[in-house]
Amino acid sequence: MPGDQFGHPEGLVRRRLTVAILGVVVGTLVLTVAGSLLLVRRAAVSTAGTEITTQAQALGDLLSLRGAVFDRRAIAVLKRVGSYDFLGVVALTPSGQFASLPGPLDRDLVDVSAIQAGNAVAGNVGLEVYVAVPVTLTEPERRALAVPAVDQAVLVVTRSVPRPLNGLVYFLLVGGVVLVVGAIVATVLARRISAPLVRAADTTHRIAEGDLDAKVPVGRHDDPELKELAAAINAMGEGLSRSQGTARQFLLSVSHELRTPLTSIRGYADAVTDGATDDVAGAIAVIASEARRLERLVQDLLDLARLDARQFSLEIRPVDCAGVVAAVAEGARPQAAALGIELVVAVPLVGGLWIDADPDRLGQVVANLVENAYKFAARRVVIGADLVAASVVIWVLDDGPGIAPGDLPHVFDRHFTSDRRPARRLGSGLGLAIVAELAAAMDATVRAESPVDEGRGTRVAVWFRPRSTSPFGEAAVTGAPSPGT
């Protein structure tokens, strides 16, 4: 498996993942062991305290009944049998002072007032558990203590709780097994995760170097998320490949469009210069026409570049699109007459269709649609505007050959070529692409429909959202469309 594009070793990702997973395992293990030891210690202290309290109370009752509070032999036997660290009677003066206390107990740890009230007191100092049980003294026992004014004593019992570290070997053994299993699992997981990531990185690097046909291999056992990542990278490569092909085709088309008028201009210019033509005025007219066509192509390219760079200025304001359609149609009539095409206009007779748009760019959209229709129309072009399904629609219809269903989604692509051959060579081939870009900039949608009548004809429509009122406070959509003028 190759390394990544920064020259790192091939297994770096795998090692990092392994170390990270092992770190989590070790951290979890340490916390588990520490928590377990703490819980075991607390449980041991609590259990020992409960046991020693019950035993101490029983021992106090037994010694009192037998009158053996000061029987050293009996106390020694009981201490040995009960595995106590200390078992003995300590005198307690009326002022609350103990004659002596075994370590690590001291006066501040034992609740004297509770003992004086006849209650047993239990607690612990670290792992040392203690119980102090009040004992009632007989007269001989009071004299045996040899402390003046003592009428109460305390039976003190202490016992050490085994340290939890005694089970540390067991914990270490279990931890070692868990660590080995964790290392195996971490290695498998790291390999399973890193392999698709390295494949994805390698493919991305190849795509960046220009190999747009590179694909990320997808393993059968790859996780769904990694499969989704591979699919996204593969889709990106396919999109870049399509974009590159479209750009290449666009450049070829533009080169052809530029070369054709330049060839005509150069040919007629050479003919005039060499005196090879008698119709100088006609040659000059052709040169002027091709120059205008070349200028239109360059302007269309500049418009598309500005639209792509979002540098195309728009002045959105209320516009009566019926008036714009009528004005564009009036300007297009001379060309229609020269081409032998009947131009029909269908707009509302009264009032208007008000939308929010840039009037100049809207006029450019309509003009481009009309020019595109002129290229394919046989005898007739209809241009109109109407209210359809709560939308204002500007449409242009030609009676030329229809568009194949598979080509309809692409007619607004730049320099797209379909099987529908134009009857006339007009425009730059970028008109519909500019229409789509301008429509989107003005929050409108554009759609082509074909065929519209017995397998022939194409209708291109631009859909706008209507205004609720006109700038004059009247209803924004009024009147009825004319039958054609």
pLDDT digits (tens, 9 = 90+) for 366-398: 988 998 898 889 899 999 998 888 889 999 999
Of 434, 444, 432, the C-alpha closest to 407 is 432
C-beta separation of 102 from 78 below 8 A: no
Q: Which two tokens stand for residue 436?
A: 């789509």
Q: Which two tokens stand for residue 291?
A: 């120059």
Class of the 255-308 domain?
mainly alpha
For domain 317-464, give the CATH number. Answer: 3.30.565.10
Where exactly does CATH 3.30.565.10 map onto the chain?
317-464
Which helix (H) or strand (E) is 264 found in, with range? helix 224-274
Question: In this structure, which long-range contacts are made by residues 94-100, counting pairs with CB atoms below 8 Å and at least 24 apart in sequence?
Answer: 94/149, 94/150, 94/151, 94/152, 98/154, 99/145, 99/147
Neighbouring-strand partners of residue 135: 153
Phi, psi of 385 (to 5 degrees): -145, 140
For residue 116, count other CB atoms closer than 10 A to its CB: 14
- For residue 482, the model assigns a pLDDT of 46
- For residue 396, the model assigns a pLDDT of 94
- For residue 471, the model assigns a pLDDT of 62
- For residue 1, the model assigns a pLDDT of 43
Q: Find the length of the chain.
A: 485
How many Å apart are CA 324 and CA 358, to the nearest integer? 11
C-beta separation of 400 from 378 below 8 A: yes
CB neighbours of 118 closer than 8 A, spacing ≥ 6? 134
Estimate the share of the chain in helix, then strand, then coil, as percent rounded to the nearest 5: 50, 20, 30
- For residue 306, the model assigns a pLDDT of 67
DSSP per residue, 324-356? HHHHHHHHHHHHHHHHT-EEEEE-BSSS-BEEE
- For residue 445, the model assigns a pLDDT of 93
Cα angle 4, 7, 11 (rounded to 5 degrees) comes to: 60
Q: Which two tokens stand for residue 387?
A: 């209210």
- For residue 24, the model assigns a pLDDT of 81
Q: Can you give the pLDDT of all 485 residues of the chain as single tens digits?
A: 444 443 444 567 677 777 887 888 788 878 877 777 788 778 877 887 788 788 777 776 666 555 544 566 767 777 777 777 787 777 777 777 776 777 777 766 777 777 777 777 777 777 788 888 777 666 665 555 555 555 567 778 888 877 766 566 777 777 788 778 878 887 777 777 777 777 788 888 888 888 878 888 887 777 777 778 888 888 888 888 877 776 676 666 667 567 767 877 888 888 888 887 788 888 888 788 778 767 767 776 776 676 665 656 778 899 998 889 988 888 888 888 888 999 999 887 666 788 999 888 898 889 889 988 988 898 999 999 988 888 899 999 998 888 888 888 888 877 666 666 666 666 556 778 888 888 888 899 999 988 777 778 899 999 998 876 666 555 555 444 444 44
What pLDDT digit, counting tens, does each position of 235-255 carry? Answer: 888 888 877 776 676 666 667
- For residue 57, the model assigns a pLDDT of 75
- For residue 341, the model assigns a pLDDT of 92
- Buried b / exposed e along 119-146 (16+ C-beta atoms within 10 A): ebbbbbeeebbbbbbbbebeeebbeebe
Where exactly does CATH 1.10.287.130 map onto the chain?
255-308
- For residue 248, the model assigns a pLDDT of 72
